[in-house]
Chain A
Amino acid sequence: MRNSPNEILHVEDLTVEFPTDDGVVHAVRGVSYTLHEGEVLGIVGESGSGKSVTSLAVMGLLPRGARVRGKIVYRGEDVLKLSARRRRALRGGKIGMIFQDPMTALNPVHTIGDQLAEAVLAHGLVPYKQALARAKEMLDLVGIPQAEARLRSYPHEFSGGMRQRAMIAMAVINSPDVIIADEPTTALDVTVQAQILEKLLEVKDAVNAAIVLITHDLGVVAGTAHRVLVMYAGKPVEIGDTDTVFYRPRMPYTAGLLGSMPSLETSGGRLRPIGGAPPSLINLPSGCPFSPRCPLADDTCTAEEPGLAEAGEGGHLAACHHWREVAAAPDPTALFRTESEAV
């Protein structure tokens, strides 16, 4: 891997497993990515593909039984080797996180102001008043009107959009280097999704942080991310600059995701959903995990799991035996049948 000077976070070969009564869940299998200062990295994949688990692993928030392997390097230090105290200092101090569902992510019994202020106090002893003042500043920043009064509100007095703004304020209150936003707009009304996304990017610039933007919706990353990482069944299957991945996908799954997006011209105006469901993470199929759903699958695919390999310029990597065929297709999304054809 390249080791550029402005690199902040580097995840290498991250593996997460959950031993359960039903067997071992292989939730994340060898994810690597690098985040540079000020960069927006999109992580995309269907739900259940391991996006959240990857970010929780970075934050150190996985449940106790989880087995984590690999490297998570923050500014040259392997986070997994740090003491519990140093790790805690990173959480919320240097790396802030925004969760998917603002309705449940805030504690119902404490005021918004208190929940923001305690984030300040967790990383340095200042008078409570000062922490509250900082909280008000942040609420102003994320565009909550009458911030002073709103400090005394409880979460249930906020709308979903306002709560997510408060969550953004909480994540950046200690001016972190990295913000991990796990599907920050998925649970919101369509009408406020764009506002929140815009606010998030604005705040990111204000505190000068980089973002890992997680979503299952390619539309969200299209206009925002510099680079995109596509995940499937716990594995990274394609990574590259956003435009490259969008216009020259090299992995059938990415093409399928693009085809199932409503508003993209490439799909020819018709939806081409990916048939079938993601595989069980306890009993993975042999070979390429996408093979049961892939229109290009053949014996090679079921025999051997493809690794991430160079599939274009500018560090464009894809995990597919047949990426050249995908590249050769005039419209890769046409590999999948449209809904009317499927019936």
Chain B
Amino acid sequence: MTISAPASGAAQGMTVVARTQGQMVRRRFFRHRAALVGMLAFGGVVLLAFTSIGIGPIPGWWDKSYLTTGSLVNQGRPTLSVVPQFLGGEGIRFGEHPFGQDNIGIDYFALTMRGAQQSITVAFIVAIVATTVGTLAGAFAGYFRKLTESVIMRLTDVMITIPILIIAAIVGRTFGDSGIVILAVCIGLVTWPTLGRLVRGEFLSLREKEFVEAARAVGSSAGRIIFRHVLPNTIGVIIVSATLAVANAVLLESALSFLGVGVQPPDVSLGQLIDTYRSAMTTRPWLFWWPGVFIIAIALSINFIGDGLRDAFDPRQTRVRA
């Protein structure tokens, strides 16, 4: 009783600090204009991708499917128009096939939305797996030192010698046929070392701090110290890296699929669409444009969100306006 009293007191003290820090972070984040725009844009893309053609059995508001072929309308050209009539355009309209059709008449809007769904899903799974494994590995390596650290660090040494694209391509070739979830988990399992090293670095500097000493002195278990005391203090680094990991995973997945070692047909992803239609570049350039635009929109908006988070968590520079 007497021993746990100061510990719980310290914990209470920390939550108070954490909350005010959380508020500060939120305030700084919402002042970051690019991050807000990024958030809106990303939310928009996700909404569009998942509501338009629906998820699995749930139908969406778009009436065409990415699986059914149809007759070619106007050689499959896009019917989307965004220039209003009074500016001499054709008015703002979606039309029959806003993104056009491919050579066998599949509605390309539906196809692109399907690709975006898959790419976003893969990216999130990759990021979650890589962040979890990286955080745990980094935390254990940084906290326990000695053998645990040597083993984990040598492992990351090995992984870092292999360019990410290489190892991901090999894994993708092996597991690409097993569906996107398994593919994504496997990619996540080979892309964690960078984050692991980052977290380890944070742990190394935090483990010597007074509050860790104090927790150790009152007999807290290692697990408790790691998860209750140290990890919350590295949360900024982890959140920022996790966010950027999503953006990188979108690009990685699309590159793999483009090389033919990522998402395999009949599944669709944005990168795979570009690969499929790359020879149609001269005749039907829109088949190439739309997936690219969506990849960029997703990656760019997430990168901006990540930048906002970084600024929000790292208040080192009070900005002086010039």
A/B touching: CB–CB < 8 A = yes
Would you call A313 an interface residue if the criterion is a C-beta within 8 Å of the partner chain's C-beta atoms?
Answer: no
Contact A65 B321 (CB under 8 A): yes
Separation of A64 and B31 alpha carbons in the complex (Å) = 23
Would you call B320 an interface residue if the criterion is a C-beta within 8 Å of the partner chain's C-beta atoms?
Answer: yes
Separation of A176 and B320 alpha carbons in the complex (Å) = 32
Closest CB in chain B relative to A22 CB, distance in Å: 7
Would you call B19 an interface residue if the criterion is a C-beta within 8 Å of the partner chain's C-beta atoms?
Answer: no
Would you call A66 an interface residue if the criterion is a C-beta within 8 Å of the partner chain's C-beta atoms?
Answer: yes
Q: Which of A13-21, A157-165, A269-277 contacts B (4 or more CB under 8 A)?
A: A13-21
Chain A interface, number of residues (Cβ within 8 angstroms): 9
Closest CB in chain B relative to A56 CB, distance in Å: 13
Would you call B3 an interface residue if the criterion is a C-beta within 8 Å of the partner chain's C-beta atoms?
Answer: no
Closest-by-CB residue of B relative to A24 is B321
Separation of A63 and B321 alpha carbons in the complex (Å) = 10
Contact B318 A64 (CB under 8 A): no
Would you call B319 an interface residue if the criterion is a C-beta within 8 Å of the partner chain's C-beta atoms?
Answer: yes
Separation of A22 and B27 alpha carbons in the complex (Å) = 11
Which residues of A sit under 8 angstroms from B321, Cβ to Cβ?
19-21, 65
Closest-by-CB residue of A relative to B321 is A19
Which residues of A sit under 8 angstroms from B318, Cβ to Cβ?
20-22
Contact A21 B319 (CB under 8 A): yes
Closest CB in chain A relative to B270 CB, distance in Å: 37
Majority secondary structure, B binding face: loop
Interface centre among B318, B320, B321, by most chain A C-beta atoms within 10 angstroms, is: B320
Separation of A22 and B31 alpha carbons in the complex (Å) = 11
Closest CB in chain A relative to B29 CB, distance in Å: 13
Closest CB in chain A relative to B317 CB, distance in Å: 10
| Per-position 1/0 for B290-322, Cβ under 8 A of A | 000000000000000000000000000011111
Separation of A81 and B318 alpha carbons in the complex (Å) = 28
| Per-position 1/0 for B48-66, Cβ under 8 A of A | 0000000000000000000
Which residues of B sit under 8 angstroms from A22, Cβ to Cβ?
318
Closest CB in chain A relative to B230 CB, distance in Å: 27
Closest CB in chain A relative to B31 CB, distance in Å: 7
Would you list which residues of chain B between 234 and 271 have a CB under 8 Å from chain A?
none
Contact B31 A65 (CB under 8 A): no
Which residues of B sit under 8 angstroms from A63, Cβ to Cβ?
320
Closest CB in chain A relative to B23 CB, distance in Å: 14
Would you list which residues of chain A between 43 and 97 have a CB under 8 Å from chain B?
63-66
Closest CB in chain A relative to B308 CB, distance in Å: 14
Which residues of A sit under 8 angstroms from B319, Cβ to Cβ?
20-21
Would you list which residues of chain B between 1 and 50 have a CB under 8 Å from chain A?
31
Contact A21 B322 (CB under 8 A): no
Separation of A66 and B319 alpha carbons in the complex (Å) = 11
Which residues of B sit under 8 angstroms from A20, Cβ to Cβ?
318-321
Closest CB in chain A relative to B239 CB, distance in Å: 22
Would you list which residues of chain B between 199 and 223 have a CB under 8 Å from chain A?
none
Closest CB in chain B relative to A116 CB, distance in Å: 31
Separation of A21 and B315 alpha carbons in the complex (Å) = 12
Closest-by-CB residue of A relative to B31 is A21
Closest CB in chain A relative to B307 CB, distance in Å: 16
| Per-position 1/0 for A14-37, Cβ under 8 A of B | 000011111000000000000000
Which residues of B sit under 8 angstroms from A66, Cβ to Cβ?
320
Closest CB in chain A relative to B15 CB, distance in Å: 23
Closest CB in chain A relative to B184 CB, distance in Å: 39
Which residues of A sit under 8 angstroms from B320, Cβ to Cβ?
18-20, 63-66
Which residues of A sit under 8 angstroms from B322, Cβ to Cβ?
64-65
Closest CB in chain A relative to B280 CB, distance in Å: 50
Separation of A315 and B306 alpha carbons in the complex (Å) = 58
Separation of A63 and B31 alpha carbons in the complex (Å) = 23
Closest CB in chain A relative to B36 CB, distance in Å: 15
Separation of A61 and B52 alpha carbons in the complex (Å) = 58
Separation of A65 and B320 alpha carbons in the complex (Å) = 6
Separation of A63 and B318 alpha carbons in the complex (Å) = 12
Closest CB in chain B relative to A283 CB, distance in Å: 16
Closest CB in chain A relative to B145 CB, distance in Å: 25
Which residues of A sit under 8 angstroms from B31, Cβ to Cβ?
21
| Per-position 1/0 for B93-134, Cβ under 8 A of A | 000000000000000000000000000000000000000000
Separation of A18 and B322 alpha carbons in the complex (Å) = 10
Separation of A64 and B322 alpha carbons in the complex (Å) = 6
Closest CB in chain A relative to B322 CB, distance in Å: 5
Which residues of B sit under 8 angstroms from A65, Cβ to Cβ?
320-322
Closest CB in chain A relative to B316 CB, distance in Å: 14
Closest CB in chain A relative to B21 CB, distance in Å: 16
Closest-by-CB residue of B relative to A65 is B320
Separation of A20 and B320 alpha carbons in the complex (Å) = 5
Would you list which residues of chain A between 279 and 336 have a CB under 8 Å from chain B?
none
Closest CB in chain B relative to A259 CB, distance in Å: 30
Closest CB in chain B relative to A52 CB, distance in Å: 15
Separation of A104 and B267 alpha carbons in the complex (Å) = 57
Separation of A64 and B319 alpha carbons in the complex (Å) = 11
Closest-by-CB residue of B relative to A64 is B322
Closest CB in chain A relative to B57 CB, distance in Å: 49
Closest-by-CB residue of A relative to B28 is A21
| Per-position 1/0 for B151-164, Cβ under 8 A of A | 00000000000000
Separation of A65 and B322 alpha carbons in the complex (Å) = 4
Closest CB in chain A relative to B227 CB, distance in Å: 34
A sample of 16 cross-chain residue pairs with beta-carbon separation below 8 angstroms, ordered by A number, consists of A18-B320, A19-B321, A20-B318, A20-B319, A20-B321, A21-B31, A21-B318, A21-B319, A21-B321, A22-B318, A63-B320, A64-B320, A64-B322, A65-B320, A65-B322, A66-B320
Could you tell me which A residues sit within 8 Å of B by CB distance?
18-22, 63-66
Which 10 A-B residue pairings sit nearest by Cβ, starting from the closest?
Answer: A65-B320, A65-B322, A19-B321, A21-B319, A64-B322, A65-B321, A18-B320, A20-B318, A63-B320, A20-B320
Name 16 extra pairs, CB < 8 A, besides A65-B320, A65-B322, A66-B320. Answer: A18-B320, A19-B320, A19-B321, A20-B318, A20-B319, A20-B320, A20-B321, A21-B31, A21-B318, A21-B319, A21-B321, A22-B318, A63-B320, A64-B320, A64-B322, A65-B321
